[in-house]
Amino acid sequence: MPASDAQLAANRRNAALSTGPRTAEGKARSRANALKHGLTGGGVILAEEDADGVDRLEAELVGDLRPSGPMARLLVRRIAVSAVRMDRCVDQESAAISADVRHAGADHDDRRRADVEKMFDWIAAEPATHARRLRATPEGVDRLIRAWLDLGTDLDHPDRPRWDFSHWQRLENLTGRRPEDFPLSDAGIVSKAYWGDESYLDPEQARLDPAEKRAWIKDQLVAIIAAEVRALGALRETFDPELAAADRDEAGRRALFDPSRDAILARKYEAAAERGMYRALREFRQVEKETPGRRAAAEADSEVEALGRLASFFPPAPAPAIGPDPGPRPVGPARPTVGTPAPASPARPLGAGRDAGPARRRN
């Protein structure tokens, strides 16, 4: 059916009221409406506090690493983004664990109650399994006792006792059975007799007056319910309250490890951010190594390092041995120093030092 002119006009007026944000601030806020955590993007979409942290860390890394070109600067930016993401993963995991520890006791109690409620709701599907599990905890036993008391309340209704197939089915399920299980239970025999099927009664019981027979059947059902309540009460007393208290007290320590799907994804994001940071750092070093100026400086540094390793092969010069003080030395004649003329020896006559013989006569 086509819309009328009035409907079309109303649609136009409504559309004019929902045009979305118009200011720059509103558009910036709406841009982040679908942002969940920002841990898997390529670094373009960042929360405001993350962007500020990236800018601060990038400035520090630029002063420390001193990138020599645009590519190196881009890699420094990627290192900063990955480092901030990694830190935020750690912060979020720590905050989540702290919250789990604070509420560990209450969550423990609620989880136990929820497990009991779920098992009780599904007791008709698997009565043997769920009835057994309900009997294994204090909360489960308390729930079974309440269910048996509810059956007794319906049976003792002041106006008219209520006992139909659903009551019999619930009774059988509480004992871990189904109504169709063989052999027929005592509760099934008296329930069928309550509805008029007396084929399972003993001949003596079948010959009772209808009023007496109905009273006897009701007394049998009341006795069955009372016996189950007493048995469950005795079972309830066997549970050690100290064990339950210890189990609750240890809930805080169990909460220190979160095996949930969200926690597993957070740890994967953290590992991915760490790998991205170290990959960018390796690429930065490779780019800086291939830069001409940095290459020459790196070669000079490598030569200095090689010379240092080569010098380590030569043993150091032994230090002079230091012995006991010998005391003052005797003062002797001063030795001539370099540049000081030696003292002149006394002149001797010609021929001195030779053996003097008889004088030769001259002819």
* Digit-coded pLDDT (tens) for 66-77: 998 999 999 999
- For 182-217, the DSSP string reads SSPPHHHHHHHHHTT--TTS-HHHHTS-HHHHHHHH
> What residues contact residue 2 under an 8 Å CB cut-off, 6+ apart?
none
- Could you give the 3-state DSSP secondary structure of residue 253? helix
Q: Is the pLDDT of residue 149 over 60?
A: yes
Residue 320 has pLDDT above 60, yes or no: no
- Hey, what are 355's tokens? 């053996």
pLDDT for the residue 251: 93
Domain ranges of the chain: 46-119+259-304, 138-238
- Residue 336 or 76, more confident: 76
CB 145, CB 229: distance < 8 Å: yes
Q: Look up the pTM and report it.
A: 0.59
In this structure, of 168-172, 285-289, 332-336, the range with the lowest mean pLDDT score is 332-336
Query: Which stretch of 150-164, 304-318, 343-357 has the lowest confidence by average pLDDT?
Result: 343-357
Does 34 score more than 80 pLDDT?
Answer: no
